A and B are shown apart, each in its own frame.
Chain A
Amino acid sequence: GAVVSQHPSWVICKSGTSVKIECRSLDFQATTMFWYRQFPKQSLMLMATSNEGSKATYEQGVEKDKFLINHASLTLSTLTVTSAHPEDSSFYICSGVGGLGGKETQYFGPGTRLLVL
């Protein structure tokens, strides 16, 4: 199956710093990518939809100035957590939608664990 990678897999940072998380589709072109957040023992919450070459669409309650999303190419989307605070500590998962064999399917990355001290 298709592969989506995330980098870094985990990151620890100080409060007030910005952290960039990369999401790459390795063997397919992802016209659309999604960013989810998961707090411990909770479900995944959709944060935003990212389309290549256009502005991301954020879900209600997600601060677009706090979580900057850039989808500069068909294989890369980045999520930047600006001025991170301890409450931003979470597991961030991206997914990409692409077509292999003529069928569009969604593929999830392995996730990035962020800890803000």
Chain B
Amino acid sequence: SQQGEEDPQALSIQEGENATMNCSYKTSINNLQWYRQNSGRGLVHLILIRSNEREKHSGRLRVTLDTSKKSSSLLITASRAADTASYFCATGRGSTLGRLYFGRGTQLTVWP
């Protein structure tokens, strides 16, 4: 499969706790992106990390990338009930921007 794999498939935490989601992929990449999807809705782009970067921050989000292990992690700190959604990693390959291969996603539920 060309897709990445996220784990866990589902994660349930209390508000204020941190949520960590992992993504593994199989082939070489140019970049890796994380997206959020609320139930039955479109995608919201969260963050892009390039293959030559190791860590990136955006607000309460922290993404790491380990190209030697072909893995990435997304950390959401101080989670809120509004963070409840599905989170997908997507890898971009080749010269065509936007040709993405998505992982299976992690369903995050944050309880108030």
| Most A-side CB within 10 Å, residue of B40, B43, B45, B102 | B43
Total cross-chain contacts (CB, 8 A): 51
A97: interface (CB < 8 Å)? yes
State which residues 93-113 of A face B: CB under 8 Å.
93, 95-97, 104, 106, 108-111, 113
B-side residues, CB < 8 A to A, are 3, 35, 40-45, 88, 90, 96-105
A108 touches B45 (CB 8 A): yes
A67: interface (CB < 8 Å)? no
Q: Closest chain A residue to B104 by CB distance?
A: A43
A43 touches B102 (CB 8 A): yes
State which residues 69-117 of A face B: CB under 8 Å.
91, 93, 95-97, 104, 106, 108-111, 113
B88 touches A34 (CB 8 A): no
Number of interface residues of A (CB under 8 A): 21
A19: interface (CB < 8 Å)? no
- Give which listed residue, A91, A108, A109, contacts B40 with CB less than 8 A: A91
- Give which listed residue, B44, B45, B97, contacts A104 with CB less than 8 A: B97
Set of chain B residues within 8 Å of A96, measured between Cβ atoms: 98
CB distance from B86 to the nearest CB of A (A): 9
B45 touches A113 (CB 8 A): no
Interface flags, A36-63, vs B, CB<8A=1, else 0:
1000001111100100000000000000
* C-alpha gap A91/B97 in the complex (Å): 22
A15: interface (CB < 8 Å)? no
B96 touches A49 (CB 8 A): yes
Known: A43-B88, A44-B102. A97 touches B42 (CB 8 A): no
* C-alpha gap A91/B43 in the complex (Å): 12
A32: interface (CB < 8 Å)? yes
